[in-house]
Amino acid sequence: MSNEEGYVTADGRKIGGTLMEMKNITLRFGGVKAITDISFDIKEGEIRAIIGPNGAGKSSMLNVISGFYVPQEGEVWFKGAKRPPMKPYQVAQQGIARTFQNIALFEGMSVLDNVMTGRLNHMNAGMFQQAIWKGKAEREEVENREVVEKVIDFLEIQSIRKTPVARLPYGLKKRVELARALAAEPMLLLLDEPMAGMNVEEKEDMSRFILDVNDEFGTTIALIEHDMGVVMDLSDRVVVMDYGKKIGDGTPDEVRNNQDVIDAYLGVAHD
């Protein structure tokens, strides 16, 4: 499946060429190897899942992609160019947005302000212009508000627009966090357990949003998720990790029938 060119998914969507490629990534914390020699790619327009048992290194992998961790070995290629070691905010400027396993919203701000923050890479009025307000700052503020309102519409959170985030229930917070990431209009969207702690209905909503985002905006999505049903339904290709190593890679069906993966999840008899 990992041919350089794109492919066509089972449901008939065209997937483009490679957007991001991880080449032989190794990440160590002191003596502990979190990730060992992992390579995989993410193609334009696909939904790519990373799964694995607890402690497999999935979140570490996401943190490598978003620039929190710099791997000791290996290369990260983005849009056909090798990416030098970067700070997280520089990665964001390149067009990669993410959500967190534990919600990382700005609790003291309203929903609108939270989502507007996602637009910051699209606004470049200087501090003096903002202090004067009239002119460029106000114009940018309005233009970007329009984009943000589209995202708010899309995720159906109009009614809580002006509510302080701290007052929202968990499920809505997750949605606002997705809205903030989407507002950045990223090329690559990283979702760290978007359904964690949700009930079936909320999971269905979130799945629908993820599929819609991919479908309407053509956003490439990489997600970590523990709910196998969701993963198998949503994703085009799956990477399976265990103890920091890659043990499987392919379509959901291929992965499901992979003996290593079955062993990792169900355990294997030692005799």
- Contacts with another protein by CB under 8 A lie at 66, 68, 87-89, 92-93, 97-98, 100, 104-109, 113, 116-121, 123, 125, 127, 130-133, 137-138, 140-142, 145-146, 149, 180-181, 184
Q: Which is nearer to another protein, 27 or 184 (CB)?
A: 184
Q: Minimal distance in Å, beta carbon 25 to another protein?
A: 19
Q: Which is nearer to another protein, 221 or 264 (CB)?
A: 221
Q: Which is nearer to another protein, 29 or 133 (CB)?
A: 133
Q: Minimal distance in Å, beta carbon 110 to another protein?
A: 10
Q: Minimal distance in Å, beta carbon 44 to another protein?
A: 22
Helix (H) or strand (E) holding 26: strand 18-29
- Backbone Cα Rg of the chain: 19
Q: Which is nearer to another protein, 80 or 126 (CB)?
A: 126
Nearest to residue 194, comparing CAs of 183, 185, 186, 205?
205
Q: Which is nearer to another protein, 2 or 159 (CB)?
A: 159
Q: What is the C-alpha to C-alpha distance for residues 176 and 182, in angstroms, rounded to an integer?
A: 10
Written as six digits, the tokens of 111 are 């929903």
Q: What is the C-alpha to C-alpha distance for residues 53 and 55, in angstroms, rounded to an integer?
A: 6
Q: What is the C-alpha to C-alpha distance for residues 245 and 237, in angstroms, rounded to an integer?
A: 17
Q: Which is nearer to another protein, 148 or 231 (CB)?
A: 148
Q: What is the C-alpha to C-alpha distance for residues 14 and 215, in angstroms, rounded to an integer?
A: 11
- 167 DSSP 8-state letter: G
Are residues 95 and 66 in contact, defined by beta-carbon separation less than 8 angstroms?
no
Q: Minimal distance in Å, beta carbon 175 to another protein?
A: 16
Written as six digits, the tokens of 62 are 């996401």
Q: Which residues contact 4 (CB under 8 A, 6 or more apart)?
A: 17, 18
262 class by beta-carbon count within 10 Å (0-12 exposed, 13-18 middle, 19+ buried)? middle
Q: Minimal distance in Å, beta carbon 194 to another protein?
A: 15
Q: Minimal distance in Å, beta carbon 66 to another protein?
A: 6
Q: Which is nearer to another protein, 120 or 228 (CB)?
A: 120
Q: Minimal distance in Å, beta carbon 68 to another protein?
A: 8
- 238 DSSP 8-state letter: E
45-58 burial: b if 16+ Cβ within 10 Å, else e: bbbbbbbbeeebbb
Q: Minimal distance in Å, beta carbon 196 to another protein?
A: 16
Q: Which is nearer to another protein, 133 or 265 (CB)?
A: 133
Q: Which residues contact 92 (CB under 8 A, 6 or more apart)?
A: 66, 121, 184
